[in-house]
Structure 1
Amino acid sequence: MEFFENISRWMKDHPISSNILKYLIWAVFILLTIAFLRRLLRKKLPDSAIRYKSQKAVEVLGYILLVIVTISFFTGSIKDFALAIGLLTAGITITLQELILSVAGSFYIFFVGVYKPGDRIEINGIKGDVIDVDSIYTTMMEIGQWVSSDNYSGRIVKLSNAFVFKGPVYNYSKDFPFVWDEFNLPIRYDSDIELAKTIVVQIASETLSEYVSQSIAEWQQVVNKYYIENAQVEPTLAITMTDNWIQFNLRYIVDFKKRRLTKHLLNELIGTAIQKTNGKVQLASMTVEIVRVPSMVVKQEEDPHSGVINS
């Protein structure tokens, strides 16, 4: 009892220190509660998407509560919350501009749904798969750079959420998890062009049939949601006459995560089918034909004094 009486007397004699101590106790309590709830949700929720969103919701609500407690302790009344927020914002807007934009960006990303963990995006010239979005940073597994196509580079990139306000955000998977891809195939002029067209179109249609059937329904939802015209999702072949060969351009739709694998498979199957035509269809390569070599006349004269022949 005497111990508690001493504490009570000390708190009355030192009101400022007492308020600071109370605030620290509340702050530690809130932070520990956030950590406990996050750990509990991580163990109890089996679905990774729901678990991630629940943990983020607990974290955001906890930090909001911590801000309210901080303002109420240092202003003396929760009624002064709006005034304190205004004064605080006016004082730190310039010095903490990037931080404020990052926090605002996190709310924008969360409520508008710009992207979420699992999406493949490109922002500020960096492309990768989103693996985490917190109150300040977006964390991505980087794609590209020194590796070709859509392979992981192995680097984990942390990017400020403020960048969602500073430039375009390219989302490869939101609403429509497919992308269009293409490649060119050079065919010699003396080949059987109709046979070549049949081979390319048939292999593309058979290989990509699953993507086409899945993307039709997905694309219809995009058309209904946005002001956009309908598009052809079946493989298309365009032919261009060049100086050296007939160029086949195959355009097709593919899952955004399987672009490289699908292109490899199409090239392999088409190449094998062309080889089986026994020369009826031949791939072209760059050749240089010399049409004419100009003739040169060399005139020789003998110097009468030295006897040397000059050209």
Structure 2
Amino acid sequence: MPDRDPRALLSEEQAAAAQGSPEAYATVLKDRVARRPVTLNLDILEQTLAAKPWGDALREVAGPLLVNTAARPELLIFVNTIPRVPTAAAETVLVEDLGLRRGSLHAVNGGFDNAFDRLTTLRELKPRSLVRGHVTATVRVRATVALLGIRPIVLVRDIFDTIACHADDRGDEPVAPGYRFAALDPATRRRVRVLRMAAQLVDFFASWHAEQAIGRCVVRRWEDVRLDWPGFVADRLAEHDRPADRAAIAARIAALPADKHSGTVGRGETLSADDRALVRTLYLQYPSIDFRPIDPGAAAPA
């Protein structure tokens, strides 16, 4: 069979992905996968899955290409939080009651690197797992979640408290050769931490807030959840048809070691007015997003 024009192939994929239903695109994908060599633009596939509710319709053909499976993993819980949201005790109860393995999308020595690594994801997002992450809802993340058929549980907290927790930490991981963060004076180190963390946190919240608006995830404020961790756990168990005794769950959580950040609130008050103003300028990138869940002092969206 003669080779087909690459430009024509690309146009065919783009046209099929632009349709209002997934059938035409699925037909194109199946045709491409059946041919050798396979000629397929995976960027278009990821963008389509991220933008359209076609995960179920495309899973059979697209799943093996992107997530190494054509089936939804059995009992997979993805808890995705901004840094400094303590969930260890709640996770322990869920893991024990549901018989899950515990996983993470981030290496222990990853420092502040919260990037979404595809190989790590394929290894960790397995059946019967509870996986923790701190990833922004990028195109690749949204496409992966759609194909796996999971609805992430996203926990956020006050942006200034979160930044202050990091700004007050003494440790820091080298980023590249010549990195001399520790040599900076304390005020400069704190300012740098504010800048680094703020951009990450604003993107994280805005991206998942948009996903929640179309029903693709559950976003909860840690400040609310921390008042009723047994209820949070019971709700997760109920989602998987498991009975839950809230009093018993509360007793088990109380018996577990407390996270060092579990009671830390109000540290954001240590940030200066200039720091707060600088962080809030980042909100301007997302004029339709309401940032008040993570910043009660933020202006309402236009």
Q: TM-score, normalised by structure 1?
A: 0.28
Q: TM-score, normalised by structure 2?
A: 0.29
Q: Based on CA coordinates, which of the two structures has the bigger radius of gyration?
A: 1
Higher relative contact order (CA 8 A, sep 6+): 2
